[in-house]
Amino acid sequence: MTVFHVCLFILLTLFDHSFGQLVVNVKNKGGDVEREKIEANTTSDSVRLEFMSKDGTLVTQFIDYKSNIQIFRIYVPWEEERGIVQSKPQVLCFVTKFGKNEFISADAMSKLRQKNPTAVRTPEEDRGLERHTLNLLVTLDKASVLSPHLYNICHDAVDSTYAKETDIKLITKALNKDTEKVMTALKNTELEKHTRCKDTSDIAKPCFCQYHLCIEWYPCGLKYCRGKDSTGKVVNYRCGIKTCRRCLSFEHYARQKMFCLWDDL
């Protein structure tokens, strides 16, 4: 314990509450600086990462470690020049399986503090692009079978919360959940039967939509150092974090092309 504490003070600083928040300035590939807020809650064993892009899109990644699930929620502002007047932004929620090496634990995250909060950070590793084809629509009022947090986070995305069948099956199996019960919260959108939204001219027609986002900086792993503890025994201890960048592409059903206006390239 002592070694661990001493060490955290070298690269990071220890924060003594179960709830921690980190605000980092991150430079994206376009050269703009984004402010990212990352908070961990060790009571619920979850992490929330949030940032707003220059165009006003608000992206939230929520990891529920207990349920093996991560949620990407996106508030997309309407583009006024399209002539569609809407007061509320469009909301999308993408639910995928959380893989062990995708983020550090909520516990490690809650202990993370930076020495220089005004520094502009760039990640050490680029993990590239992941493609997710989400063929299921989640019925939010039954979504607690997947994660107790899902409804709270996605309640503004009643008709636009999507999940991936292969992921759901893996999670259900790993957590020993009743597959049949879980499947009652999910509807197949028969994604493969739809045309890409960019090739659809009728704005009212359903189509196959694609949404792309990048998370420019996140703690993706721990670094270990060797040292001696108070009794002189050689031990490995956590002495820092490894940082990564990742991009994600989500393919999903749009009930009308007007809900996928960004996919026009």
**Positions in the binding site for ligand NAG (CB under 6 A):** 19, 41, 43-44
41 or 114: CB nearest ligand NAG: 41
The β-bridge partners of 238 are 224
Smallest separation, CB 83 to ligand NAG (Å): 40
As a whole number of Å, the CA-based R_g of the chain is 20
19 or 224: CB nearest ligand NAG: 19
39 or 124: CB nearest ligand NAG: 39
Dump the DSSP string for 104-135: --HHHHHT---S-TTPEE--SEEEEEEEEE--
Q: How far is C-alpha 198 from the chain's CA centre?
A: 25
Structure token pair of residue 21 = 């928040």
49 or 209: CB nearest ligand NAG: 49
CA distance 10 to 208: 49
Smallest separation, CB 217 to ligand NAG (Å): 22
Residue with smallest beta-carbon separation from ligand NAG: 44
Smallest separation, CB 45 to ligand NAG (Å): 9
Element (H, E) at 154: helix 150-154
Smallest separation, CB 61 to ligand NAG (Å): 16
28 or 41: CB nearest ligand NAG: 41
Smallest separation, CB 73 to ligand NAG (Å): 16
Instruction: Identify the three-state secondary structure at position 251.
Output: strand
